[in-house]
A and B are shown apart, each in its own frame.
Chain A
């Protein structure tokens, strides 16, 4: 016997089909078909059987209307683009072997793009300087010229500079050979890049240690891997060609440029690089955006690397390409994207330690689509969201009704349900600005601060751990946070206080930041993850394969934390945090002490300064490009159910924002607001995007990442318990808090209840945003149905009895229960159905209590929609 299965629940949430309320008629029939006695739990016997039969019927009443938006038909015009772009916009050829491929992209009024390289006409001003063949330029003589590119009535000019056209660049191990290992996949984790190598030969993973690789190739097993006398016979070549048994099979053939490069190096005597080999300093992928129409449409990419000596190189053939959604867009080894199904994909190119990406949208060809003019833009959020939706040919859902809005806003902003009275007042109010006004009211409630104290407490891992971190420390840390947030202290100030905190963890609870985590490297990792949304853990052992972080970046960032001293305080639970003034972080490969360097920033002067203070000044400031955006994204994800980068703490090149312009805008605004995040929340909540209905229309049914409709979210564990307690008018007792405290106010993450644990409360054991779980499971369903929480609280609170005692009639009580649980009145149909239950000779309080129970067990209650 069950009310809804977890699979059903899960599928509802995943498809987000907008059906929040209850079961479909078919499902209902199925449910009825199963008798209550099929349930194995003994507790279902006796009186509850009768109750459930009634409840089933009641639940079916709780429903929503459906609504669909129709889009008008228009056909796109492909005769004239609004813009034509050429990539790269300038060409520098600086050696005899240098080459540069060109790509021409046309952009149309509706956002669609086309690769028109083959259709464009190219006109070289001085043909004696460069050779132009198949959209590729190669040098002939030194000098400067221009290439005119014509398409769709537009003409563009590409400046070309040719230098050292007769000079053959000497082969370099780091510049030429290392990329071969990357492109051929030799140094991947599953191959020779494994920490123990593969089949007796090891390369550094993704080439983090070129000197080590050179040693292993040429010196580790002399005479085996390279053969400078007969280069073609070198084992490294033989293996790669698959000419001798090779677990990795054939990596390339003899006509591959990779083969040519490797052979050239061997023929040159497998030389070691001089110490001043230029380093890659930047990587560009071009174009960075494409909107492809129809299956089979293609777009070529070009990748250019910039070096520390000022030069650049077309590395398209050496870059490793990958797509995060092969169904929508595939990419070849040579960097050609082919459109597949409708959708979005991110194409990543990796070269050296750099990763870059391009966003590709695939829409059906000749899709009838028109943006409804009546859709208003409330603020910049809507402008940027709509821009993306237009590219995707999606029309956002309609606005949600007032009842849905007040419930949604209350739950999101304060973690509480609106009272029956508040709902009624809001529905009766007729002023145009009432939604904005409600948001302002909610933002000024202490509950708002409490909610964010909880979220920060999760990020800061406020949780007692046996003898290492006392519950008193946890309580004080939490109280400190609560004090700061409830006084609306700007987030940058709070972060700076945390990072620079010194002294006793009892007297200055912010110092617990260094007591929760005492390991230097982990402190650095957590700092990056919490405040910048970056997981740099990979770079501890090797250059990050899907991001830009190298081991140097990792250890240089960690170098801000080795000088933290800790000594016991007076109380055995207390620790005194101070700056020791010495201590270094050493790079495990070179063994050198790493100078502190901001992640993605410069290396500051830390002489005679507290390194933490130097870091804090940069980290929580506009100079740090990630700080404001990351916090903006965390706030966005809370209100929209999904981050612009998702998960919010996994910012990396290969996990790009779905709407980078919006993410930038949130960051800019947050900085403008001086990190007062109430203002940011206001921007988000007053946008039309936040106020959309969760019901899908024809165009956005499949969209789950562009915010074209509201996301249906299960209430998180604490909020759900608080809401149950709120509507049943009962109090909870949590360890370390007085009776009546709300679950969102739990100071010590170690204090939990069965209910909270079952519903996926964050354990605060890590900084990961994945700790909060809202996925449904069987225990949750069973606990709501059979467990003590709901049933006991209904009895304990005695809400129904009190209303009966106060002389309210049936309909008034039903209305009150609907309002307090759902924030809306029952429909006429629901009223009508319910009245049937009173006719069977059962007592009013019994039926009404059962109704209350079923409301609390309905999806409409458990979800924010």
Chain B
């Protein structure tokens, strides 16, 4: 990358507009994008509002910050030390400042020394020479092609692997090719099953000499954000591991497949706890592959396919009853693999394929057959390309599961794993996205000292129902969490965090857990934050990463607090309520505060947000309830945001109670016709549902211009409300179909507003005495 493009790159990075309601501090880029473990280096964070940076929060262990320098608002420099035993691969991090928390970013840890790409290297003639087993940190400018030269002896393995899309920075869709010493292209790579859009080459050198690797964007695209780490050397690069998983805590003997030197076996010690994806880094002769092959860690044993299991007759038997994991490879085109297992009558089983999510090329289709060969259930895609089905055995006996590739594909690395286990319930927790295509905003808890912060917590229940309690253990000192239980019918609720005025500024990564209250055996719960790193077309994304901890921090006091004046009266079905929101402003702070309902209880509606105007201290937030609104007591909260020192700061209200109740009365108005200049008598027949104290005001609304009806009063005994509707002589004729009555009942000095008699009709017709019959009328009549 040239100096000019470097400067350009930076300016592009800085000019990226802030995402809607951006986090307070922001990281635009991290340089370098990765490092070798066991080294010390300076990390440079470019971004904005970083001047009060206090901490770099690493989600994974192994990286120690020795020194931090945040003199400038847009740059933080940190001297870091990476432990020799630091876990390899993607590390997640955030920056915490005194006033806020940044979005989540990633940083790569590898085993190879890192060098910088040196331009010009745009032609085979000026290819940058690279020593074996090096990571080149580079970038692709527009139309840029980068060449690297590596020397190899005949028979030696040459492997090249790009980390581009996996850096999570840009939609860099790499293309790579390798030329032999004579200049002939001997291999090329675009997308790979293992590494998504990232390219991968691994060949055996046919002769001694200098080999040249070309790297570019597939469509000659590029800009300053197309950064990459190119790993070049003689490292092993298998494309699959078999079996792709095993029992937690065990050491599994696996075969690594797809390496140009042929398959080889190794022992892999699996983690002690189940894992969706475990990265197995293959090592040969002291060289470790730059990225892992993926394995699944479960709680049950493996069943490996037998050689001839391509029809029902030769199905591989699973001797023990479920749970177990069936493992195999669809090694040739149009191959089908069969397994046999025993199930008891009525036994419900989850049959889940783990293949594509472990980066296998197979697009699985599974089908269950009974012992007579009758098909009972089948599935193609459920979790991406991976199949899943829930199967209940109709009788006790033998069953068969068949797997194949949907397109009849097959190959040596078409590895699959089918987990057959009794249906297990789970609870998945998350913070629902606050805006479309925004997986970063407020995906953490940030509570100003002496203030409150609110977040929604979502719970997805699989194969279980009931009320759920959410808890977070080990909250930073001074923080209290306020949450209701999540009712069985709901899948998200507001949670308010409150920090005492003296809560120390700092943060913690915490586990969020949930429990089903009435269940004897509450299922496992898991919190997940999926960060969509590189957006793609159609609201999709090219690359995402997942963390399972919630970051909770206490920040400096905010210059405002808000609270809900808790209503003493309910919001009734078909009713309206003005919820009063009060702000307490610090002296000198008079910025407008935008207030947003965290959620609307079922059947309740509200504006997306309202504003407490500049220097004002309160506003009304109008809520309305439909006729079908659920009658229940809800916990609500509002979140206020204001711009402080150039960035948004949030503070929420307390968790307030909002009761949705049945209406006091119903009404019905029969259609009325009247002429301009007349006074129409409009009767609203009332059906009293529950008694109320004193008198209620009834207003007739939805009347056309110059038509008036005086407000009247009713009591709990009134059977009807009579309106004398004055119609001005100048009112044009026409039909008005949107009349309704607003009933206002006073209770505890507050007003319960309710609409009755919706869509009532008033027809304004021409005066009869002025009407002159015309020839046209006669025609109409005759028809």
Among B68-76, B430-438, B446-454, B535-543, the one that faces the other chain is B535-543
> In the assembled complex, how far is the CB of residue A481 from the closest CB belonging to chain B, in whole angstroms?
16
Among B216-224, B249-257, B307-315, B621-629, the one that faces the other chain is B216-224
Q: Is A471 an interface residue (CB 8 A)?
A: yes
CB distance A572 to B191 under 8 Å?
no
> In the assembled complex, how far is the CB of residue B117 from the closest CB belonging to chain A, in whole angstroms?
19
Specify which of B221, B536, B540 is in contact with A736 (CB 8 Å cutoff).
B221
> In the assembled complex, how far is the CB of residue B143 from the closest CB belonging to chain A, in whole angstroms?
6
Given A503-B407, A572-B536, does the pair A567, B381 have CB atoms closer than 8 Å? yes
Residue of A nearest to B380 (CB): A567
Chain A positions 496-511 with a Cβ under 8 Å from a chain B Cβ? 502-504, 506
CB distance A573 to B218 under 8 Å?
no
CB distance A578 to B407 under 8 Å?
yes
Specify which of A467, A471, A572, A733 is in contact with B143 (CB 8 Å cutoff).
A733
CA distance A567 to B540 in the complex (A): 14
Point out the residues of chain B lying under 8 angstroms from A739, CB to CB: 143
Specify which of A466, A472, A738 is in contact with B218 (CB 8 Å cutoff).
A472
Point out the residues of chain B lying under 8 angstroms from A567, CB to CB: 380-381
Residues 725-765 of chain A, each 1 if its beta carbon lies under 8 Å from chain B, else 0: 00000000100111100000000000000000000000000
Residue of A nearest to B407 (CB): A503
Given A472-B173, A576-B363, does the pair A570, B219 have CB atoms closer than 8 Å? no
Q: Is B340 an interface residue (CB 8 A)?
A: no
CA distance A615 to B538 in the complex (A): 33
> In the assembled complex, how far is the CB of residue A300 from the closest CB belonging to chain B, in whole angstroms?
56
CA distance A570 to B165 in the complex (A): 14
Point out the residues of chain A lying under 8 angstroms from B380, CB to CB: 567
CA distance A736 to B407 in the complex (A): 30
Residue of A nearest to B145 (CB): A738
Residues 551-573 of chain A, each 1 if its beta carbon lies under 8 Å from chain B, else 0: 00000000000000001001111
Specify which of A470, A475, A736 is in contact with B537 (CB 8 Å cutoff).
A470
CA distance A471 to B363 in the complex (A): 24
Residues 548-576 of chain B, each 1 if its beta carbon lies under 8 Å from chain A, else 0: 00000000000000000000000000000
CB distance A570 to B538 under 8 Å?
no
CB distance B385 to A737 under 8 Å?
no
Point out the residues of chain B lying under 8 angstroms from A467, CB to CB: 537-538
> In the assembled complex, how far is the CB of residue A311 from the closest CB belonging to chain B, in whole angstroms?
51
Given A470-B537, A570-B356, A570-B384, does the pair A578, B542 have CB atoms closer than 8 Å? no
CB distance A472 to B145 under 8 Å?
no
> In the assembled complex, how far is the CB of residue A53 from the closest CB belonging to chain B, in whole angstroms?
41
Specify which of B190, B385, B542 is in contact with A572 (CB 8 Å cutoff).
B542
CA distance A570 to B537 in the complex (A): 13
Point out the residues of chain A lying under 8 angstroms from B221, CB to CB: 736
Chain A positions 521-550 with a Cβ under 8 Å from a chain B Cβ? none
CB distance B197 to A571 under 8 Å?
yes
> In the assembled complex, how far is the CB of residue A513 from the closest CB belonging to chain B, in whole angstroms?
16
Point out the residues of chain B lying under 8 angstroms from A733, CB to CB: 143
Point out the residues of chain A lying under 8 angstroms from B191, CB to CB: 506, 571
Residues 195-230 of chain B, each 1 if its beta carbon lies under 8 Å from chain A, else 0: 011000000000000000000001111000000000
Residue of A nearest to B409 (CB): A503
Given A467-B538, A570-B196, does the pair A737, B406 have CB atoms closer than 8 Å? no
Point out the residues of chain B lying under 8 angstroms from A738, CB to CB: 143, 145, 220
Point out the residues of chain B lying under 8 angstroms from A471, CB to CB: 219
Residue of A nearest to B173 (CB): A472
Chain A positions 458-476 with a Cβ under 8 Å from a chain B Cβ? 466-467, 470-472, 475
Residues 430-459 of chain A, each 1 if its beta carbon lies under 8 Å from chain B, else 0: 000000000000000000000000000000
CB distance A737 to B537 under 8 Å?
no
Specify which of B218, B406, B537, B540 is in contact with A578 (CB 8 Å cutoff).
B406
CA distance A737 to B143 in the complex (A): 8
> In the assembled complex, how far is the CB of residue A2 from the closest CB belonging to chain B, in whole angstroms?
37
Point out the residues of chain A lying under 8 angstroms from B145, CB to CB: 738
CA distance A383 to B409 in the complex (A): 52
> In the assembled complex, how far is the CB of residue B387 from the closest CB belonging to chain A, in whole angstroms?
13
Point out the residues of chain A lying under 8 angstroms from B173, CB to CB: 472
CB distance A737 to B220 under 8 Å?
yes
CB distance A502 to B407 under 8 Å?
yes
CB distance B220 to A573 under 8 Å?
no
CB distance B536 to A573 under 8 Å?
yes
Residue of B nearest to A567 (CB): B381
Given A471-B219, A475-B218, A736-B219, does the pair A571, B542 have CB atoms closer than 8 Å? yes
Point out the residues of chain A lying under 8 angstroms from B538, CB to CB: 467, 572
CA distance A162 to B11 in the complex (A): 94
CA distance A533 to B407 in the complex (A): 32
Chain A positions 98-135 with a Cβ under 8 Å from a chain B Cβ? none
Point out the residues of chain B lying under 8 angstroms from A573, CB to CB: 536-537
Residue of A nearest to B535 (CB): A572
Residues 360-391 of chain B, each 1 if its beta carbon lies under 8 Å from chain A, else 0: 00010000000000000000110011000000
Point out the residues of chain A lying under 8 angstroms from B381, CB to CB: 567
Point out the residues of chain A lying under 8 angstroms from B406, CB to CB: 576, 578
Point out the residues of chain A lying under 8 angstroms from B384, CB to CB: 570
Point out the residues of chain A lying under 8 angstroms from B190, CB to CB: 506
Residue of B nearest to A474 (CB): B219
Point out the residues of chain B lying under 8 angstroms from A502, CB to CB: 407
> In the assembled complex, how far is the CB of residue A634 from the closest CB belonging to chain B, in whole angstroms?
29
Given A506-B191, A572-B542, A578-B406, does the pair A472, B385 have CB atoms closer than 8 Å? no
Point out the residues of chain B lying under 8 angstroms from A570, CB to CB: 196, 356, 384-385
Specify which of A571, A572, A576 is in contact with B407 (CB 8 Å cutoff).
A576
> In the assembled complex, how far is the CB of residue B39 from the closest CB belonging to chain A, in whole angstroms?
34
Residues 594-632 of chain A, each 1 if its beta carbon lies under 8 Å from chain B, else 0: 000000000000000000000000000000000000000
CA distance A466 to B537 in the complex (A): 8
> In the assembled complex, how far is the CB of residue A234 from the closest CB belonging to chain B, in whole angstroms?
27
CA distance A576 to B409 in the complex (A): 13
> In the assembled complex, how far is the CB of residue A466 from the closest CB belonging to chain B, in whole angstroms?
8
CA distance A576 to B407 in the complex (A): 9
CA distance A503 to B333 in the complex (A): 13
Point out the residues of chain B lying under 8 angstroms from A504, CB to CB: 407
Residues 138-165 of chain B, each 1 if its beta carbon lies under 8 Å from chain A, else 0: 0000010100000000000000000000
> In the assembled complex, how far is the CB of residue B543 from the closest CB belonging to chain A, in whole angstroms?
10
CA distance A766 to B29 in the complex (A): 43
Residue in B219, B409, B538 whose Cβ sees the most chain A Cβ within 10 Å = B219
Point out the residues of chain B lying under 8 angstroms from A576, CB to CB: 363, 406-407
CA distance A506 to B175 in the complex (A): 13
Point out the residues of chain A lying under 8 angstroms from B542, CB to CB: 571-572
CA distance A506 to B538 in the complex (A): 17
Residue of A nearest to B538 (CB): A467
Given A475-B219, A733-B143, A738-B145, does the pair A572, B356 have CB atoms closer than 8 Å? no
CA distance A572 to B143 in the complex (A): 23
CA distance A471 to B218 in the complex (A): 10
Chain B positions 404-445 with a Cβ under 8 Å from a chain A Cβ? 406-407, 409
Chain B positions 334-367 with a Cβ under 8 Å from a chain A Cβ? 356, 363
> In the assembled complex, how far is the CB of residue A482 from the closest CB belonging to chain B, in whole angstroms?
15
Given A733-B143, A738-B145, A739-B143, does the pair A572, B218 have CB atoms closer than 8 Å? no
CA distance A467 to B540 in the complex (A): 10
CA distance A467 to B409 in the complex (A): 28
Given A578-B407, A738-B143, does the pair A572, B196 have CB atoms closer than 8 Å? no
> In the assembled complex, how far is the CB of residue B538 from the closest CB belonging to chain A, in whole angstroms?
5
Residue of A nearest to B536 (CB): A572
Residue of A nearest to B381 (CB): A567
Provide 17 A-B residue pairs closer than 8 Å at the C-beta atoms, listed in order of the A residue: A467-B537, A472-B173, A475-B218, A502-B407, A503-B409, A567-B380, A567-B381, A570-B196, A570-B356, A571-B196, A571-B197, A572-B538, A576-B407, A736-B220, A737-B220, A738-B143, A739-B143
- Further pairs besides A470-B537, A733-B143: 12, Cβ < 8 Å: A466-B537, A467-B537, A471-B219, A472-B173, A475-B219, A572-B536, A572-B538, A572-B542, A573-B536, A576-B363, A578-B407, A736-B219
Closest 3 CB pairs of A and B: A572-B540, A572-B536, A467-B537
